[in-house]
Structure 1
Amino acid sequence: MVDFTNPEFVETNGVTLPVYRAGPDFSETDKPAIVFLHGFPEIAYSWRAQLEYFSEVGYPVIAPDQRGYGRSSKPQGKENYTMKHLSGDLAGLLDHYGIEKAIFVGHDWGAIVLWQLPFYIGERVMGCAGLNVPLMRHFPIDPITIFRERLGEQMYIVRFQEEGACEPILEKDLRETFKFFLRKPGGGNGGGKTSFAFEVESLDLISLLQAGEDAWGGELLMPEKELEYYIEAYTESGFTGPLHWYRNMAENWEAQKQFLVGRQLPKVEKPCLMITAEMDRACPPNLADGMEDLCEPYTRHDLKGCGHWSQQERSEEVNEAIHSWIREYF
């Protein structure tokens, strides 16, 4: 079992990251290292089932709390949370452990970072496995403008853009915040149909949080005692650093232009696995349609009836899908 109260602290790329490590030493096995990247509002603890499983079958595995999260460094200013910084942190992490290349697995924001690693630090990447958020084409306009035009000013990512606007709401009662976010489909509407974790289609998640538990839908993802890991981490970090990741989406889109060939990103020629979740309202499976044209070789696995927090809600199926893919290509 991984001790999530006692990380290693690694200095990398000008910041310090708490890192949770398991399995054999990197130099003592011919199996590839696997690096797990959490999303928002998560921490390395979200990968507990994967760290246990893959370490037990002989892989060296690591999962950091990334910059701005938990006990990591929290540099001031959104300019310190660009994709260049986030990918540089991971290259430095590999340097620290003497790893030339690794398999990267990412969920949610971790998947957004994951799919950019072949462009930013491609020589360090053996393969990519993304959960819920796919590799996407370069958008014709910046994504914040797209969200604002299609979903309105109340869409949560649009609301996150103003520093200081959402932090007080999210930090007011951390237990309620995590009971709100960390939900899975369930409950139903009396007709036997499983409900989404969030029924609202506008993705105005901040207003939904404020509406109270009766409005949320779904059911709690984990026992409340496990929420303590999240509550403790965000008591330490707050939400400003994590929200700065969102506040660089337009800047990251602009920076991505450096990799374009014509108007397209080059094909990722590394083994790629995409795991979708049928009941994910924010990141529906159709976002991954056509991804086979963007990377090769490509594998897709669809989780039926699963919500957004897929590696926790369906840990066994996710572990088996990733392990099967690794055995095929590495």
Structure 2
Amino acid sequence: MDEALYKQVKTQRGFTYSYYFSPPSPGKPVLFFSHGFPNSSHVWREQVAFFKPLGYGVVVPDMLGYGGTDKPTDPKLYIGTGLAQDVADIFDAEGLTQVIAIGHDWGSYLVSRILNSHSSHVAACAFVAVGYVAPDSSYRYAVTHPEFMTQMVGYDTTAYVRFFIQPDAPEILEKNIDSFLCLGYPEKPEIWKDHMCVDGGARAWLESNRKNPLPSYMTPEIVEHERKALLKGGLTAPLCWYKIMLDDAKDADDATLAPEAHYVAQPLLFVACTRDVVCLPVLGDTSHSKYAKGVLTRKEIDGDHWALESHPAELSAILNEWITGLQI
């Protein structure tokens, strides 16, 4: 993505955010793309390359803890409504009254909180791999009660989280960065099930500095970009996105949202990744059946968690077809 199109803004909370921005052509909507762990705005590069020439406006921040954005290490600063306010400040800085919000991974959590606390800013929303995340304690419960997910899907999809929140996790990930990238982007998705979804599995993988083949979309150039970006900023701040989810401050923050704000009235697209063994499609489907009250569209990509990079043309086509069909 063109570095010349990156801008900076200081939010009301005092954080400096770096974000890519391209204004829309007349009559075209603005698309807001929100990334997750362990990425930066760069992960949306293929979608930006697709939508920008079509005249869509595009805003893609480095989220708090990543890229050119500030990297505080207090998990309480990653509170959901606070993150949503930061993004609303970016919208205000650009004079954007409404966007079509698109999230992936933890970016889906952020889009969810924007919907909850700044609903008027969102004309429609799309979730890739991870569906709408309601303001409740279900994630915390799943992490602290591994038997819950085991009973539901047959194995513990949150085992790796219990390692990520440990004090020594950032140091281990940084020390074994290539091993971490191999685990994060496995050629075979089942590696997550065998090592991320087993207590102690992720730690054992990294401490042994284990490697495995990377998928073809993880070219040497992309791998080097990811490595440098993560080592430059470190992993302490990004891992705060996990830590806050198990903090009482998160539950207190959720309690400030009115019950009616939990529901999504906007058109919602869910792009399920059928080979994702951690963020299983059934989890998004379960959430949407309860909370999506507007027009719900569901599509599938036969790929793992990283559809943005593994199936960029297919994902962009799905998004474009949905966007052009919106009645907004």
Q: TM range, normalised to the smaller chain? A: 0.7 to 0.9
Residue 198 (structure 1) aligned with residue 183 (structure 2): no
2:171 counterpart letter in structure 1: P
SS across alignment from 2:239: helix
**5 Å matches for 1:1-330?**
2-4=1-3, 7-13=6-12, 14-22=14-22, 25-26=23-24, 28-137=25-134, 139=136, 141=137, 143-150=139-146, 155-162=159-166, 164-185=167-188, 196-200=190-194, 201-202=197-198, 204-213=201-210, 219=215, 221-250=217-246, 251-261=249-259, 266-290=262-286, 291-295=288-292, 296-304=294-302, 306-329=303-326, 330=328
**Offset of 1:211 from its aligned partner?**
4.0
Can you give the 5+ residue segments of structure 1 that lack an aligned partner in the other structure?
Answer: 186-194
Distance 1:156 1:114, change over 3 A: same
- Kept in 2: contact 1:197–1:219 (CA 8 A): no
Distance 1:6 1:269, change over 3 A: closer
**Offset of 1:138 from its aligned partner?**
5.1
2:47 counterpart letter in structure 1: Q
SS across alignment from 1:183: coil
Distance in 2 between the 1:318 and 1:138 partners? 27
**Cα RMSD, aligned residues only:** 2.5
2:250 counterpart letter in structure 1: N
- Kept in 2: contact 1:18–1:65 (CA 8 A): yes
More helix by share: 2
| TM-score normalised by the chain length of structure 1 | 0.86
Give the match for residue 153 of structure 2: none
Distance in 2 between the 1:81 and 1:120 partners? 15
Distance 1:260 1:206, change over 3 A: farther
Q: Alignment identity in percent?
A: 24
SS across alignment from 1:75: coil
**Offset of 1:184 from its aligned partner?**
4.2
- Kept in 2: contact 1:278–1:303 (CA 8 A): yes
1:302 counterpart letter in structure 2: E
**Offset of 1:328 from its aligned partner?**
1.0
SS across alignment from 1:73: coil
| TM-score normalised by the chain length of structure 2 | 0.86
Distance in 1 between the 2:203 and 2:274 partners? 23
- Kept in 2: contact 1:51–1:62 (CA 8 A): no
Give the match for residue 152 of structure 2: none
Distance in 1 between the 2:86 and 2:101 partners? 13
Distance 1:6 1:57, change over 3 A: closer
Distance in 1 between the 2:174 and 2:168 partners? 11
